[in-house]
Amino acid sequence: MIARTLIKPSFYQDSVALMGVARELRGGAGIQEAAALMGTPANRELMEQAGLLTAEAAAAGPNDLVIVVRADSEAAAAAALARAESLLTERRRRVEAAGRRLPRTLDSARRQLDGANLALISVPGPFAAAEARKALARGLHVMLFSDNVALEDEVALKRLAVERGLLLMGPDCGTAYLNGVPLGFANAVPRGRVGIVAASGTGLQQVVSLLAAGGEGVSQAIGVGGRDMSESVGAAMTLAALDALGGDPDTALVVVVGKPPAPAVRGRVEARLRALGKPAVVAMLGRAVSPGRDGLLHTVTSLEDAAAAALAVLAGREYRARAFADPDDAGRRIGERQRALAAGQTSVRGLFAGGTLAYEALLILEPLLGAVGGNLSRSAASPHRIVDLGEDEFTRGRAHPMLDATLRAEEIARAGKETAVAVLLVDVVLGHGAASDPAGDIAPALEAARAHARANGRGLAVVASVVGTAGDPQGLGRQVARLESAGAWVLPSNAQAARAAAAIAGGAGVTQKLLGGESR
Amino acid sequence: MDEIRDLFGREIRVINVGLESFALVLESLGVPVIHVQWVPPAGGDPARARLLALLDDEDGA
Amino acid sequence: MSIREANERALVRLTSAQPVLVDCRPAREALGLDERTVLHSGPPLLWGQACPTVQAAILCAIRYEGWAADDDAARRLVERGRVTLGPCHHAGAVGPMTGIITASMPVFVVENRPGGNRAHATVNEGLGKVLRFGANDASVIARLDWLAREAGPLLGAALRSSGGLDLRALMAQALRMGDEMHQRNIAASALLARALMPHLARVAADTGAVARVADFMAGNDQFFLNLAMAAAKAAADPCLEIAGSTMVATMARNGTDFGIRVAGLGERWFTAPVNTPEGLYFPGFTAADANPDMGDSAIVETVGLGAFAMAASPAVVRFVGAGGLRDAVRVTEEMAEITLGEHPHFRIPTLDERGTPVGIDIRKVVETGITPLINTGIAGRAPGTGQIGAGVVRAPLACFEQALAAAAAGRVAT
């Protein structure tokens, strides 16, 4: 058993790229374990715990890249390190071949890219506020992807941004569209007439995907982060974005997506919406929100309804919410799956990559099934669970579920063995930046779980939605087909998928509620 | 918000600080982007990072 | 004034300097050096902390001046404080390697035309067994005698007759001929000799003296180094009074410590132990023979030459990689990360005439962890060995971290 180290001094790579390298190395012949990390004290501790802290690794500094492999043989170790070297330098070689060098700071980047106007910042949380402040001070708009930014930093940053007339999208802004440019994790959608202000990335992704499916597109989509409409932040970015969209001739209708604003803030936001002079659709994901309409202002309670209402208003139609796009088909499929269940299979297990999608599912399930547990609610004693696998507790030292399905596949297998689970509910998110085959990454686990249940006399329903468009690199049609071939029932939206899951697990009473007449 | 509206209609030119995959996506879409090889300032030392923030008084040009 | 504004002012002052070589005079006149002071390179140094090479050079200089008859007596003078040591920088001078200057030695006088401030450096002794490398025998003293008696006065007369030689123009031209003014000065030395010859010929009464000085200059490829250093100091010194600036105005080593001074922090030194240079060695020598880093010559990097101009010098680029354009670009862009701008006069032809990176910002050094690279000769650690190789060395990060803390404290106080 051999441990070999490669140190690249003063060599910089982000954590996601490095996790990708480590994963590649682990797949090599004769390799038992591999690590690719910057030589920070915290990472050296991780290496020590994994039994990978060689003497060279221990001596490395925070600016040094450390690769350690544990292998069966010298040859295997050498091959792995050579592979690491080539993986790491590939991009650098391309850049250097062009006669340049990747900049180390924001300032040297500005010298190299004339007219830069947006900083997309995704550094670790503790450093994010300082980078964002530097960018704003230099007159750059900011998309702050990083999370774990302190609330008081967010308040100060947004105050500075508003002072300077700049965007501070975030913190924790995963998706945005500016002038048709998709930023962060974003789906391929056409330009169009709908301007969006979103407190959530995957929420935005669901809305724009459904708009695109309806033949409409996005003028601008501005992320404001999940805390913008809190009392402390005072909806600073939401208000600024609404002003900008209100005055934008290319925006015919505004959609706002988020959780219900703090009472102190709600009035200001509503006033700004009314003052837009354009129709506005507000999707507030929360308990005790009532849908309705007040002049140009439409309130809806799901992401799907936001897109549908926007499409209807732009087409001059009335919008009526329904439980399912195709109630007859839904009823039939629900019945089939209910009949396949064994006695005692009564619960829903939701395993989500998108946090807002998980939360929307939770809100839909609760009125139908009663208390729902999982890591987004405080109901501990409930058979039903909605789990957001993107939460911190699951992503320490591992890639986010939108990028790496390993953990979700494990959870699917685990859930499939529980005798009380009637239905697995999953989301699959496509788009730029997401994994190259998210459906394919979980399909084997889904098939195996269903097969295992079958072998033990249980039916196990799998219900899914795919957030994406035909134009996405993964291809919406291909991803849907892959899930269906694994036995999943794929519905057109996260909300419909949640309702379908509730109906299958909840029995005739729930089904009747959903299919008998209008929903809600 | 005049500056924000100004941005609508301008070419978006991005400085990417952090995850390189974002820059690679933008590159593949033909969006002008430059990726910064970011590491924690001052080797991650928080006290020195605070001093650096104190001494950073760039303003825009 | 904001730091940004102060740095802009400092960078302009640094890069608009016009160093002119005007004279050569004994140090006792030009520097006001008294009869019991030995100047050395780098930040302040205690005798007990000095490396053997520097100590050997100090003792030799004391014997050269006639203050002691032998090394033991010379040592006693120093230990008893009858001879005092001080940095060249404090006396308006710079010295390469051991950088020893005493009263009788002739020093070149460089004047910065915009401000009128002056900087000085000795006449480079040549290669091999020289005071610069801690050689300590009679041949060293004999050469120093000749420099003081014959070469110095003749060079001084020639320079006074010339009305001054524009060193900035000369260096800009040498840069286009493969010099970087630290490890390679051969083109600059040739250009200087060409500029001086007519004046030497005109002022000399004794053709033998002219011939000896001409031979001396022709045989020393590094003759111009001391002048590059004095020109650089003349350019950088006026920046030391620009309050609020975080630009480095001095980098210097004494074989024990590396010291920097910062424009907005005045004459205060920020020091840390020197690193040992790494590079390629002459036959018979290895890294184990290398002396720790020494010399005021890092002043050259401080003004955007030396390692910062390395891309203009293909032979020198080979010390940082296989050589070639890729390595040249890489080094230049690495130094560009920590500098305030590009030099308007020192340009690199092979990089599309881009100006050399100039104006090291202590904030950028600490932020990125990138420390200034310095091209340097490597001296042997045994006194008098001479040069054993050439390579590169880094300024220690600790100097910049200390300076950053001082700058921040000053900021809070205002």
DSSP C329-381: HHHHHHHHTTEEEEEEEEEEGGGTTEEEEEEEBHHHHHHH-PPPEEEEEEEBS
Say how far apart CA A242 and CA A220 lie, in whole Å. 11
Contact (CB, 8 A) for A222 and A170: no
Question: What pLDDT was estimated at residue A43?
Answer: 86
Residues of chain C found within 8 Å of residue A104, distances taken between Cβ atoms? 337, 368, 370
Token pair, residue A162, equals: 């508003």
pLDDT-based confidence at residue C317 (cuts at 50, 70, 90): confident
CA atoms of A383 and A391, how far apart (whole Å):
21
Q: Is B43 close to C408, i.e. CB distance below 8 A?
A: no
Please indicate if any CB of chain A lies within 8 Å of the CB of B27: no
- Chain B: give the shortest CA distance to residue A41, in Å: 10
Q: Tell me the pLDDT band of C255, cut-offs 50, 70 and 90.
A: very high
* Type of residue found at A234: G
Query: A92, A93, A101: which to substitute to probe chain C, counting the most C Cβ within 10 Å?
Result: A101
Classify strands A65-71 and A31-38 as parallel, antiparallel or unpaired. Answer: antiparallel
Across the interface, whether the CB atoms of C367 and B41 are under 8 A apart is answered yes
Kindly tell me if the per-residue pLDDT of B61 is higher than 60: no
For residue C401, list chain B residues with Cβ-Cβ distance below 8 A.
42, 48
With beta carbons under 8 A apart, name residues in chain B contacting A434.
none
Fold adopted by B2-54:
Rossmann fold (3.40.50)
Using a CB–CB cutoff of 8 Å, tell me whether B44 touches chain C.
Answer: no
CATH class of the structural domain C19-229: alpha beta
A123, A153, A218: best mutation site toward chain B, by most B Cβ within 10 Å?
Answer: A123
Judging by beta carbons within 10 Å of its beta carbon (0-12, 13-18, 19+), is residue B28 exposed, middle or buried?
Answer: exposed
- Contact between chains at C370 and A101 (C-beta distance less than 8 A): no
- Find the chain A residues whose C-beta atoms sit closer than 8 A to any C-beta of C: 10, 63, 96, 99-101, 103-105, 107-108, 111
Q: Does B49 touch chain A (CB under 8 A)?
A: yes
Structure tokens at C98: 């051991």
CA–CA min distance B8, chain C (Å): 30
Give mean pLDDT, residues C100-129: 95
Region C281-306 average pLDDT: 95
How long is chain B? 61
Q: Identify whether the C-beta of residue C124 lies closer than 8 Å to the C-beta of residue C100.
A: no
DSSP A119-134: EEE---HHHHHHHHHH
C390 — alpha (psi -120 to 50), left (phi > 0) or beta?
beta
Beta bridge pairs of residue C19 = C112
Residue with tokens 């697995």, as numbered in its chain? A424
Interchain contact C212–B (C-beta under 8 A): no
What pLDDT digit, counting tens, does each position of C45-92 carry? Answer: 999 999 999 999 999 999 999 999 999 999 999 999 999 999 999 999
Q: Which residues of B touch A12 (CB under 8 A)?
A: 37-39
For chain A, domains (ranges, CATH) are 2-97 (3.30.1360.30), 173-315 (3.40.50.261), 327-515 (3.40.50.261)
Mutation site for C-interface testing, chosen from A65, A105, A112 by largest number of C Cβ within 10 Å? A105
What percent of chain C has pLDDT above 90? 86
DSSP string for A141-171 = EEEE------HHHHHHHHHHHHHHT--EE-S
Q: Does C322 score more than 70 pLDDT?
A: no
pLDDT at A484: 97
Tokens of A520: 């809600």
Summarize pLDDT for A288-301 with one digit per residue, the tens: 889 999 999 999 99
CA-closest candidate to residue B59, choices A160, A114, A36, C174: A160
Are A105 and C369 inside 8 Å of each other by CB? Answer: no
How far apart are alpha carbons A193 and A250 in whole angstroms? 6
Q: Does B47 touch chain A (CB under 8 A)?
A: no
B43 touches chain C (CB under 8 A): yes
CA C48 to the chain's CA centroid? 24
* Min Cα separation B36/chain C (Å): 11
Contacts of C405 in chain B (CB under 8 A): 51
Q: How far apart are CA C206 and CA B13, in angstroms?
A: 69
Strand, helix or coil for residue C319: helix
Q: CB–CB of A179 and B22 under 8 A?
A: no
Which residue from A minimizes the CA distance to C342? A111
What is d(CA A493, CA A145) in angstroms, rounded to the nearest whole number?
25
Q: How far apart are CA B10 and CA A178, in angstroms?
A: 9
> CA-CA distance, C138 to A165, in Å (whole number)?
74
Among positive and negative, which fits the CA dihedral A296, A302, A304, A305? negative
pLDDT of residue A101: 73
Of all residues in chain A, the one with the smallest CA distance to C338 is A108
Closest residue by Cα to residue C105 from C88, C83, C129, C89 = C88
Token pair listed for A241: 């974005």
SS3 C17: coil
**Contact status, residue A21 vs residue A11, Cβ threshold 8 Å:** no
Cα A317 to Cα A308: distance, rounded to the nearest angstrom: 10
- Other CB atoms within 10 A of residue A54 CB: 18
For C3, which of B39, B43, B55 is closest by C-beta distance? B55
Chain A: give the shortest CA distance to residue B55, in Å.
11
- Tens digits of per-residue pLDDT, C143-179? 999 999 999 999 999 999 999 999 999 999 999 999 9
| The pLDDT of residue A517 | 53
Q: Select the residue from C362, C364, C368, C397 to test the A interface by mutation, using most A Cβ atoms within 10 A.
A: C368
Determine whether the interchain pair A107/C364 forms a contact, defined as Cβ–Cβ distance below 8 Å: yes
Q: Which CATH superfamily is domain C240-413 in?
A: v583 domain like (3.90.1700.10)
Closest Cα in chain C to B61 = C4
Domain layout of chain C by residue ranges:
19-229, 240-413
Among A43-52, C5-14, C33-42, the range scoring the smallest mean pLDDT is A43-52
Q: What gap in Å lies between CA B3 and CA C83, rounded to an integer?
A: 68
Band the pLDDT of B60: cuts 50, 70, 90: very low
Strands A191-198 and A253-258: parallel
Contact (CB<8Å) C330/A96: yes
- Domain ranges, ordered by start, for chain B: 2-54
Residue of B nearest to C412 (CA): B54
Alpha-carbon distance A205 to C168, whole Å? Answer: 60
Mutation target to probe the A interface, by most A beta carbons within 10 A, among B39, B48, B52, B54 is B39
* C368 close to A104: Cβ distance less than 8 angstroms: yes
What pLDDT tens digit does each residue of chain A (520 aa) get? 899 999 998 777 787 888 888 988 998 999 999 999 988 888 888 899 888 999 999 999 877 899 999 999 999 999 999 999 998 877 667 666 666 678 999 999 999 999 999 999 999 888 999 999 999 999 999 999 999 999 999 999 999 999 999 999 999 999 999 999 999 999 999 999 999 999 989 999 999 999 999 999 999 999 999 999 999 999 999 999 999 999 999 999 999 999 999 988 999 999 999 999 999 999 999 988 899 999 999 999 999 999 999 999 999 998 888 999 999 999 999 999 999 999 999 999 999 999 999 999 999 999 999 999 999 988 778 999 999 999 988 987 778 899 889 999 999 999 999 999 999 999 999 999 999 999 999 999 999 999 999 999 999 999 999 999 999 999 999 999 999 999 999 999 999 999 999 999 999 899 999 987 544 4
Please indicate whether, in this complex, the C-beta atoms of C336 and A107 are within 8 angstroms of each other.
no
Closest CA to A486 of A417, A432, A436, A437: A437
When the pLDDT of each residue in chain C is averaged and rounded to a whole number, the result is 94
* Six token digits for residue C101: 């200057």
Q: Give the DSSP H/E element, type plus range, for residue A17.
A: helix A15-26
Mutation to test the C interface, candidates B51, B52, B59, most C Cβ within 10 Å: B51
Q: Which residue of C has its CA nearest to A106?
A: C337
Q: Which secondary-structure segment (H or E) carries A265?
A: helix A263-274
Q: Do A130 and B3 touch (CB under 8 A)?
A: no
Name every chain B residue with its beta carbon within 8 A of the beta carbon of C369: 39, 42-43
pLDDT score of C102: 98
Query: How are beta strands A141-144 and A168-169 bridged, if at all?
Result: parallel
DSSP 8-state code for residue B13: -
Q: State which residue of chain C sits closest to B52, comparing Cα positions.
A: C363
ipTM: 0.95
Subunits with at least 3 CB pairs below 8 A relative to chain B? A, C
